[in-house]
Amino acid sequence: MQRKRVIGNWKMNGSRGLIADVIDRVCADSYAAEVSVCVPFPYLADVRNQLARHELKVGAQSVSEYDDGAYTGEVSARMLKDIGCELVIVGHSERRRYFGESDVAVANKLARLLEVGLFGVVCVGETLAERDAGKAEARIEAQLAPLHGLMAKGCDASKFCVAYEPVWAIGTGRAASVEQVAAMHGLIKRSLGSAFDVLYGGSVKAGNAAELMAIPGVDGVLVGGASLDSKEFSGICRAAG
Ligand code: PGA
């Protein structure tokens, strides 16, 4: 059986104290799953150093869509690679919603990652209004469309995975149902090809992680709030098999 992926997304949370707590605790066990933590930019190097003796991977939560240059406040893919970052989340719904990231900008960011050999975690997901209007599938297909251009240029499943994160399930305590997850993961795999890993994200906890990861087509989980709690996060990592 293929290894599941468990990716923590700390969002704009954390401190040196939290790094010591969560990373130490999570590293105390070994897991069948591939475990990664995506932390805010200022903590990347600290976490990288702390993980140096462990199998866990460190990732960032965004990247510039531009190469190095006069783009004040931005962080390039090359810089992330340079400090030992291994993966980067792109297109999280919070970036799309609060920072106006378009589907095309997300594809540009992924292209920058691929150029330097960083693994991408591309988030897609519909809002509740889109789901209620029967437009969830169309929204996901629109978010996947720019990725096909990259695939046509030879970008394969070893370069990125997709995280299906319904916006209404993020941080709400209301995970999507087994049927909803199975249907959307099936759609994404039909669109990109079954070789691509598709993770589920949205209110994943230690208590529901095993059930979610047992759904056909679910290759792992992207975890927000629960990744800040060492006990919860290590519970999710163990639930991944
Ligand atoms: P959540 O967030 O686990 O807190 O719902 C998931 C995410 O935003 O990636």
Q: Which residues of the chain have pLDDT under 50?
A: none
Q: Which pLDDT score is estimated for 178? A: 97
> pTM of the full predicted structure?
0.96
Helix or strand run (H / E) with residue 1: none
Ligand 1 centroid from CA 224, angstroms: 3
- The finding on whether 202 has its CB within 6 A of some atom of ligand 1 is yes
pLDDT tens per residue across span 16-59: 998 888 888 888 888 999 999 999 999 999 999 988 778 899 99
Residue 225 in contact with ligand 1 by CB distance below 6 A = yes
> Helix 178-192 vs helix 136-152: angle between axes, to the nearest 10 degrees?
30
Query: Is residue 185 among the annotated active site residues?
Result: no
User: Other CB atoms closer than 10 Å to residue 154's CB: what's the count?
Assistant: 8
Report the nearest-CA residue for atom 9 of ligand 1: 224
Q: Which atom of ligand 1 is nearest to the CA of 173?
A: 5
Q: Tell me, in angstroms, the distance from the centre of ligand 1 to residue 187's CA.
A: 21
Question: Checking DSSP bridges between strand 57-60 and strand 87-90, what pairing results, if any?
Answer: parallel
SS3 97: helix
As beta bridge partners, residue 220 has 5
**pLDDT for residue 155:** 84
Handedness of CA 187, 89, 206, 26 (dihedral sign): positive
Residue to mutate (ligand 1; options 204, 232, 236; most atoms within 8 A of CB): 204
1-20 confidence digits (pLDDT tens): 589 999 999 999 999 998 88
Q: Answer yes or no: is the C-beta of 13 below 6 A from any ligand 1 atom.
A: no
C-beta 204 within 6 A of ligand 1: yes
Q: Whose CA is nearest to atom 1 of ligand 1?
A: 224
Paired with 38 in beta bridges are: 9, 59
Assess whether 165 carries a catalytic annotation. yes
20 CB-side CA count, 13 A: 3
Candidates 34, 86, 92, 130; catalytic one:
92
